[in-house]
């Protein structure tokens, strides 16, 4: 994918994840600082974890502050406009950009690990980039992470990044497109049909 397209899609994902984090903070009755911190953490937390694992310092989120800046602005707007229900995490449009963000962040994370040549590392950093921010959000909010209890989310990321890893050695661009498409549609279908993994009785 062209780099400017990737940046554009990453910014869309940043917006979706920042809204998610800010909404959780609002639900937990946090103040404005807490809302902004949770919004930013959700948006860039996965990427920061990825970069620490890969030894990239300082993490890309600090080298390219546009993502943190966008997350801060969106978190603040979510706080200001919460009573107007403009940022509604339950509507179809939000679900669309959230699924898109998950797909893009997962594949971007996987691409960052390709140079290692380690398949397990590629899969791990890809999935971590996609879902790590959401896990940090829930931990900060003292909640059981949503990815472990509701809908197919991390599973979609994992399946897509495995497909990417298996194909990327032959054609990296095709692998990125196919892996991202798998993640997007698995997440979208999971939301539509309420797919969940089996749970202990």
Higher pLDDT, 144 or 48: 48
Average pLDDT, the chain: 90
Number of domains in the chain: 1
69-110 residue pLDDT tens = 999 999 999 999 887 666 666 677 778 888 888 999 999 999
201: in domain = no
96-145 residue pLDDT tens = 888 888 999 999 999 999 999 999 999 999 999 999 999 999 999 999 88
User: Which residues contact residue 117 at a Cβ distance below 8 angstroms, ignoring those fewer than 6 apart?
Assistant: none
pTM of the entire predicted model: 0.90
198: in domain = no
Burial (CB count <10 Å: 0-12, 13-18, 19+), residue 129: buried
199: in domain = no
10: in domain = yes
């Amino acid at each position: 994918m062209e780099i400017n397209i990737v940046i554009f899609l990453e910014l869309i994902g940043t917006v979706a994840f920042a809204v998610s984090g800010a909404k959780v903070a609002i639900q937990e009755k946090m103040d404005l600082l807490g809302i902004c911190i949770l919004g930013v953490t959700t948006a860039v937390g996965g990427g920061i974890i990825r970069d620490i694992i890969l030894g990239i310092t300082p993490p890309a989120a600090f080298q390219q502050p546009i993502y943190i800046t966008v997350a801060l602005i969106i978190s603040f707007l979510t706080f200001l406009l919460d009573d107007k229900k403009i940022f509604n995490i339950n509507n179809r449009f939000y679900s669309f950009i959230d699924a898109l963000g998950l797909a893009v962040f997962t594949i971007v994370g996987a691409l960052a690990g390709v140079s290692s040549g380690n398949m397990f590392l590629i899969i791990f950093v890809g999935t971590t980039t996609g879902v790590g921010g959401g896990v940090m959000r829930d931990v900060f909010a003292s909640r059981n992470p949503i990815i472990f209890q509701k809908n197919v989310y991390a599973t979609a990321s994992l399946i897509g990044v495995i497909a990417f890893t298996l194909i990327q050695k032959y054609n990296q661009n095709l692998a990125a497109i196919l892996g991202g498409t798998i993640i997007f549609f698995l997440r979208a279908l999971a939301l539509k049909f309420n797919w969940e993994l089996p749970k202990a009785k």
